[in-house]
């Protein structure tokens, strides 16, 4: 897991450079007939990438985005009118049974279909009308890391192809930003020692980093066996904050930008409850130090729209290091396998 976390700068660079020609071809295709709706379908970590994609695509393109519920197709066998809809299936392996069923039926029901996968010879690659290939190399760890950020890069490129306010020059900055984030590994490893006996935690995010709250919590659950709940900072105030008591661990993604005011309000309430707050931010947000118990500060400052990929890196490192602190092997989580087949 740690090795694959460290491979992310190269994986992102290869993905961006290797897929630009295919992305430009798809861009010309959708310019002829722009979809009125986008439906994203995924499971697990890929579903967290899809949640990020929902925010990114709606913010940058103005096209409504829905996250598919696969059981509507696989169990209820509902007939959906997918005309003028782009259906995007996201899967690391390309072999997720229910994801592929949704894509196949959507194509039959009139959708334009796109697959995002790390495996060019997968079932998903064969089923989709168009393919965006994550070029991360084979991912051996059960806990996905480099394919999560690779999928996020592909969603930036999808936003670009759909005419969204995304510039390729900005995306080219991300591998270096991730390289800079990786320099935090010694500090994150030292911080993880404090949480060796942690059994419960909450992770909060907002907006474009909301998906990272889901992804970080998933990594804590699957590699460290920590019961980790994930919330938007706004939803957290609508009830779940009642579970917080002194020293309760809360992890927060707190970039500068439009989400900071809401996050600041949440952190202030948590501070009053004497929660232990670990905040992920960068040099653009100096105010967070007054709220958080510990701050993980990324070296590179980026516009908020570009923060999700580098911001997840210290969270990935924390989960991998904490698993080791707990005497666990993050590459062999109990009962889990790399490919999960569900219907």
Contacts of 25 (CB under 8 A, 6+ apart): none
Residues whose CB falls within 8 Å of the CB of residue 131, separated by 6 or more in sequence, listed in order: 22, 114, 115, 116, 117, 120, 125
Q: Which neighbouring-strand residues pair with 85?
A: 37
Total residues found in the chain within this entry: 343
β-pair partners for 279: 252, 295
Q: What is the pLDDT along the chain (343 residues), one digit of tens a residue?
A: 999 999 999 999 999 999 999 999 999 999 999 999 999 999 999 999 999 999 999 999 999 999 999 999 889 988 899 999 999 999 999 998 999 999 999 999 999 999 999 999 999 999 999 999 999 998 898 899 999 999 999 999 999 999 999 999 999 999 999 999 999 999 999 999 999 999 999 999 999 999 999 999 999 999 999 999 999 988 887 888 888 899 999 999 999 999 999 999 999 999 999 999 999 999 888 899 999 999 999 998 999 999 999 999 999 999 999 999 999 998 887 765 555 556 5
pTM: 0.95
List the chain domain ranges: 2-172, 176-325
Q: Which fold has domain 2-172?
A: Rossmann fold (3.40.50)
CATH architecture observed for domain 176-325: 3-Layer(aba) Sandwich (3.40)
């Amino acid at each position: 897991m740690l090795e694959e976390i460290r491979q992310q700068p190269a994986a992102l660079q290869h993905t961006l450079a290797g897929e630009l020609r295919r992305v430009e071809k798809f861009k010309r295709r959708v310019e002829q007939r722009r979809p009125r709706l986008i439906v994203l379908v995924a499971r697990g970590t890929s579903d967290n990438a899809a949640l990020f994609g929902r925010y990114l695509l709606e913010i940058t393109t103005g096209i409504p985005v829905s996250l598919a519920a696969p059981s509507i197709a696989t169990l209820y066998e509902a007939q959906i009118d997918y005309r003028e809809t782009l259906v995007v299936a996201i899967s690391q392996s390309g072999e997720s049974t229910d994801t592929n069923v949704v894509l196949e039926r959507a194509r039959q029901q009139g959708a334009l279909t796109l697959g995002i996968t790390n495996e060019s010879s997968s079932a998903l690659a064969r089923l989709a009308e168009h393919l965006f290939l994550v070029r991360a190399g084979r991912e051996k760890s059960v806990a996905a890391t480099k394919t999560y950020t690779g999928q996020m890069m592909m969603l930036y490129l999808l936003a670009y192809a759909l005419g969204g306010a995304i510039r390729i020059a900005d995306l080219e900055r991300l591998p270096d930003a991730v390289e800079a984030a990786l320099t935090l590994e010694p500090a994150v490893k030292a911080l993880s020692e404090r949480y060796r006996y942690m059994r419960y935690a909450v992770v909060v995010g907002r907006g474009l980093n909301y998906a990272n709250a889901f992804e970080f919590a998933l990594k804590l659950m699957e590699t460290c066996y920590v019961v980790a709940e994930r919330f938007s900072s706004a939803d957290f105030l609508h009830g779940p904050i009642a579970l917080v008591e002194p020293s309760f661990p809360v992890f927060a993604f707190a970039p500068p930008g439009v989400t900071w005011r809401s996050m600041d309000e949440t952190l202030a309430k948590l501070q009053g409850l004497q929660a232990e707050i670990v905040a992920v931010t960068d040099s653009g947000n100096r105010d967070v130090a007054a709220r958080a118990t510990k701050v993980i500060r990324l070296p590179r400052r980026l516009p908020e729209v570009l923060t999700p990929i580098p911001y997840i890196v210290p969270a990935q490192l924390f989960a991998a290091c904490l698993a080791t602190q707990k005497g666990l092997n993050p590459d062999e989580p109990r009962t889990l396998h790399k490919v999960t087949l569900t219907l």
